[in-house]
Amino acid sequence: MAERLGARSEPHANTREFSAWMSSEQKRIFLLCLRMLQEREEADCATQDTFLKAFQALQRSGNDLEEPGKWVTRIAINTCLDRLRSRKWQIWRRRPSQEDESIILEMAPCDEPAADDRVFAGQIQTRIARALQKLSPRQRAVFALRHYENRGLDEIADLLGLDAGTVKMHLFRGIRKLRTELHDLYFGRTA
Amino acid sequence: MNPRPESHWTEDDFIQSFYGLKAEDEHVRSCTDCASRVQKMAAVHAEVVRPPEVPPELLAEQRRRIHQRMELISRGWHPLRWAGALAAMAALVFVLLLHRSNPPGPLNDPFFTEVSAMDQNPAPRAIQPIEALVGDDNPE
């Protein structure tokens, strides 16, 4: 991953450098969007929007970035939050489609653990994905960054532009809403 | 076996601790049962959240579309830039269509009738001498 990313005077060189950096970050950003939005097509659009916003911002500012990874993560989170907030009014999409659920299931880890463990992991992932619909956009962002990306609470606060206390509150409320699924995940197999 | 079995953590305690909302205390550090549950949780979590495989063709197609949009931006094309011009053009077309659908009325308007009658009148016009004074053929 590039440690610095900047806007050069030559546009072609600039675009090439941006494309190389984008390729290194693309999968991570797509997965973050997918985990926050739980819909492949929407995650795809959010990823595209994220990199385009980054490209435009770099063209405008012309400054080098010290932490481009963190910066683009913040753009991705805000893009997903905007999409989640706009979903509030879209009553026809209260839950992901069957097709999206099956895609998320297919994309579950598929290495070597025992077959029943894999099935269980897939089931519980789907249940958690469904249960995420119960969370507010901010709760979902905090939970996704903590649960899937294992980020520290201070780091999450920095990414979301919130103080640590607010992040803790969002996480606490989110976990409370996901209580059943998380208990099944960690302590039992009632899925 | 456990020195303080009554103070085992609840499942909610474990979950809150796992997500960073509750600090580990002396009991969890010293109790083998609780410590093993923490380890088991970590193993389950690692299994469930392992980064999934994303089809490379999906990422390639996504990059292609991003590059397309980047190129449009680099050329200075932006949908909003054209929105104003398109709106003005649509308004102009609308006005023209409206005008065409309401053609001027027949020429039986009293004003036009009167003007026509004056034009057809062969009688000499009173203003002709004045026109002759200010006309182009005036020697002045």
Q: Please report the pLDDT score of residue A60 as a whole number.
A: 82
Cα-Cα-Cα-Cα torsion A156, A160, A162, A167, nearest 10 degrees, comes to: -40
For A11-20, which contacts have Cβ atoms below 8 Å and span 24 or more sequence positions?
A: A11/B74, A14/A58, A14/A59, A15/B70, A15/B74, A18/A54, A18/A55, A18/A58, A18/B70, A19/B63, A19/B67
Considering only alpha carbons, which residue of chain B is nearest residue A103? B54
Whether B50 and chain A come into contact, CB under 8 Å, resolves to yes
Express each pLDDT in A84-133 by its tens digit: 998 766 655 555 555 555 555 555 544 445 566 667 767 777 888 888 98
pLDDT category of residue B140 using cuts at 50, 70 and 90: very low
Q: Please report the pLDDT score of residue B2 as a whole number.
A: 46
Q: Please report the pLDDT score of residue B132 as a whole number.
A: 63
Of the candidates B19, B52, B67, the beta carbon closest to that of A109 is on B52
CATH architecture for segment(s) A100-191:
Orthogonal Bundle (1.10)
Model confidence, pTM? 0.68
- Over 90: is that where the pLDDT of A140 sits? yes
Among A53, A44, A76, CA closest to A145: A76
- Over 80: is that where the pLDDT of B108 sits? no
Domain ranges in chain A are 1-92, 100-191
**């409206």: which residue's tokens?**
B98
Tell me how close the Cα of A83 comes to any Cα of chain B, in angstroms: 18
CATH architecture for segment(s) A1-92:
Orthogonal Bundle (1.10)
Whether A113 and chain B come into contact, CB under 8 Å, resolves to yes
Cα dist from A156 to A141, A153, B16, B42, B132, whole Å:
9, 5, 16, 20, 93
To the nearest whole percent, how much of chain B has pLDDT over 70?
A: 71
